[in-house]
Amino acid sequence: MTATILDGNALAQKLRADFKTRAEALAAKGTRPGLAVILVGEDPASAVYVRNKVAACEKASFHSEKIVYPADVAQDVVLRKIAELNADAKIHGILVQLPLPKHFDSDLVLEAIAPEKDVDGFHAENVGALMQGQPRFIPCTPYGVTKFFEEAGVKLKGAEAVVIGRSNIVGKPMAMLLLQAGATVTICHSQTKDLAFHTKRADVLVAAVGRPKFVTADMVKPGAVVIDVGINRLPDGKLCGDVDFDGVKEVAGAITPVPGGVGPMTITMLLANTLEAAERSAK
């Protein structure tokens, strides 16, 4: 028996159909959802992601603005731009593409975004709201993962969930969402002793480590739901996840592929958060 493949492109398409209806209802009230994306530097991967985000906005007939700065731009210039966007009624969501160059204080930049426009959910106020179980904006990647659980009817109450990775943008918020859904959550990371001991107990396994094919079949419980958040570029240019897909799909009950899994859902939930922000502003 091989695993059910959880198709992120298909799920993204399904959700985006509903966004279109909601965007049209807003347009009738004179509001068009607007997203501003700030990119600093010429990292080619970042440039591709930003282009995809802007294209997704256009497809959904959202307004979007892309602001690109050279890598050596002064932090103050970016902070002033954020202040301007905070006050701009056409803009409901602001995203600063990470990582920022080394001379930036990322936390300071993220805290400069108005919390009600923080569609990434990275502002401390929004992180706090999520921790308290009153989310305002759920970070897009973990949010997208919860949509896979809904779609596949994954029962999280009482489930053993293991998250590998403890980043602020994926691991921590993911663990919090699983906890709030009633799972028993273990967060593993680079200092974890005997990783396989933990992963083999997981009914739900989320890999967000950033190491190609890190999770192998022998680490997975038969029938587990395996979510691969990794996007690693191999020397041959191909994308590859944190999970050894070919091996693990023979053991897992369900699995997300890379590409075509979590990635498209991340962008979809960015649209969802931007739409939500626009709806709140129109109330």
- Is 120 annotated as catalytic? yes
Q: Between 140 and 177, whose beta carbon lies closer to ligand GUE? A: 140
167 in a labelled binding site: yes
Least spacing, CB of residue 197 vs ligand GUE, in Å = 30
List 15, 36, 85, 95, residue binding ligand GUE (CB under 6 A): 95
Is 98 near ligand GUE (CB under 6 A)?
yes
- Is 53 annotated as catalytic? yes
Q: Is 260 exposed, middle or buried (0-12, 13-18, 19+ CB in 10 A)?
A: middle
Q: Are 128 and 249 a contacting pair, CB within 8 Å?
A: no
Exactly one of 81, 117, 120, 249 is catalytic; name it: 120
State the binding string over 19-58 for ligand GUE (x if CB under 6 A, else -).
Answer: -----------------------------xx--x------
List 91, 264, 271, 277, residue binding ligand GUE (CB under 6 A): 264
Task: Please report the sign of the dihedral spanned by the C-alpha atoms of residue 88, residue 79, residue 45, residue 276.
Answer: negative
Number of residues that bind ligand GUE (CB under 6 A): 18
Least spacing, CB of residue 43 vs ligand GUE, in Å = 9
Neighbour tally for 132: CB within 10 Å: 10
Supply angle C-alpha 146, 151, 157, rounded to 5.
60
**3-state DSSP assignment of residue 191:** coil
State the binding string over 208-247 for ligand GUE (x if CB under 6 A, else -).
Answer: -----------------------x-------x--------
Instruction: Pick the piece of the chain touching ligand GUE (CB under 6 A) from 177-185, 202-210, 262-270, 272-280.
Output: 262-270
Neighbouring residues of 60: CB distance < 8 A, sequence distance ≥ 6: 16, 19, 20, 23, 33, 271
Q: Between 97 and 199, whose beta carbon lies closer to ligand GUE? A: 97
**3-state DSSP assignment of residue 29:** coil
Tokens 């009817």 map to which residue?
A: 153
Helices (H) and strands (E) in the chain, counts: 10, 11
Of 47, 22, 78, nearest in space to 274 by CA: 22
Question: In the bound complex, which residue of the shown chain has the CB atom lying closest to ligand GUE?
Answer: 263
32 in a labelled binding site: no
Least spacing, CB of residue 148 vs ligand GUE, in Å = 13
Is 140 near ligand GUE (CB under 6 A)?
yes
Least spacing, CB of residue 65 vs ligand GUE, in Å = 15
Least spacing, CB of residue 81 vs ligand GUE, in Å = 15
Neighbouring residues of 180: CB distance < 8 A, sequence distance ≥ 6: 133
Q: Are 185 and 161 a contacting pair, CB within 8 Å?
A: yes
Q: Is 114 exposed, middle or buried (0-12, 13-18, 19+ CB in 10 A)?
A: middle
Residues annotated in the binding site for NADP(+), as ranges?
Answer: 165-167, 231
Residues that bind ligand GUE (CB under 6 A): 48-49, 52, 95-98, 120, 140, 231, 239, 258-260, 263-264, 266-267
**Catalytically annotated residues:** 53, 97, 120
